[in-house]
A and B are shown apart, each in its own frame.
Chain A
C-alpha cells in the first residue's frame, strides 16, 4: 500500500527557475491538496482539487500552478521560483466527506537560492 508519495524529497533551485513538485496517490481519493508549512505560519493551503480537471485556489496560491489530468497525480509548479517560496511542501488527499481525514505525503523540502 504505497499511499501518497511526493518527489523529490529535497530540492534546491535558483531564483527565477521553474520547478515542479510531484504528488501521487494510490487510494483513488477524490480530493487532493497542496500545503506549505513555514515557521510561524503553520500549514497553509495553496491549491486543492476535487477531482480530475477540477482545481481551485487555497489561501496562498500566488506564484503556483497546479494541474490534475489524472485522479492519482497532482503536480505543483512554481513558475518562477522566489526566495519566499523556500518552504516544506506537503501534498495530501482525502475522500472529501465528513469524518474523512487528510492523509499526507512525506513532504518536499524546497530551497530557493
Chain B
C-alpha cells in the first residue's frame, strides 16, 4: 500500500463547477500537509498548505482530518486554467511523500 493515495481521475468538469479531491495517508506520524499543482511536464508548485482547522485561499479550500488520516481539496467555480494535476503531499520533518496525483480537466 502506498503511503499517500489519491484517486488518479481524470475528473472532467465544466467551467463553474465545484470539484473535490480526496487523499489518504497511512503514517499517523505525518506532521505537515500540502497540495501542489503540476501542469503538464512542468515543476510541481505549492498550491496551499493544509491545516487542521481547515483553510481557504480564494476558490480553494483544504481540509485535514487527522483521525481519519484524510486530506481534501475543494475547488469552487472551476476555471479553464485550473486544469492540471493536483498532488497530495505529506511530510515528517524533511521527509516528503507525494501522492501520484489527481488529473483535472476543466472544459468550456
Chain A interface (Cβ < 8 Å from any Cβ of B): 31, 33, 41-43, 48, 50, 88, 90, 94, 96-107, 109
Q: How far is the CB of B66 from chain A (nearest CB, A)?
A: 14
User: Given the interface contacts A42-B99, A42-B101, does A104 sit within 8 Å of B93 by beta carbon?
Assistant: no
Give the residue of B32, B45, B100 whose beta carbon is less than 8 angstroms from that of A104. Answer: B45
The reply to whether B94 and A104 form a contact with Cβ atoms under 8 Å apart is no
Report the interface size for chain B: residues with CB under 8 A from the other chain: 21
User: Given the interface contacts A48-B94, A94-B94, does A107 sit within 8 Å of B42 by beta carbon?
Assistant: yes
The reply to whether B93 and A98 form a contact with Cβ atoms under 8 Å apart is yes
Assembled-state Cα–Cα distance A103/B46 (Å): 7
A-B pairs, 3 with minimum CB distance: A96-B94, A104-B43, A42-B100
Q: How many A-B residue pairs have CB under 8 A?
A: 51
The reply to whether B32 and A90 form a contact with Cβ atoms under 8 Å apart is no
Return chain B residues, CB-CB under 8 Å to A90.
Answer: 43-44
The reply to whether B44 and A104 form a contact with Cβ atoms under 8 Å apart is yes
Please encode chain B, from 29 to 56, with 1 for each CB lying within 8 Å of some chain A CB and 0 for all others.
0011010100001111110010000000
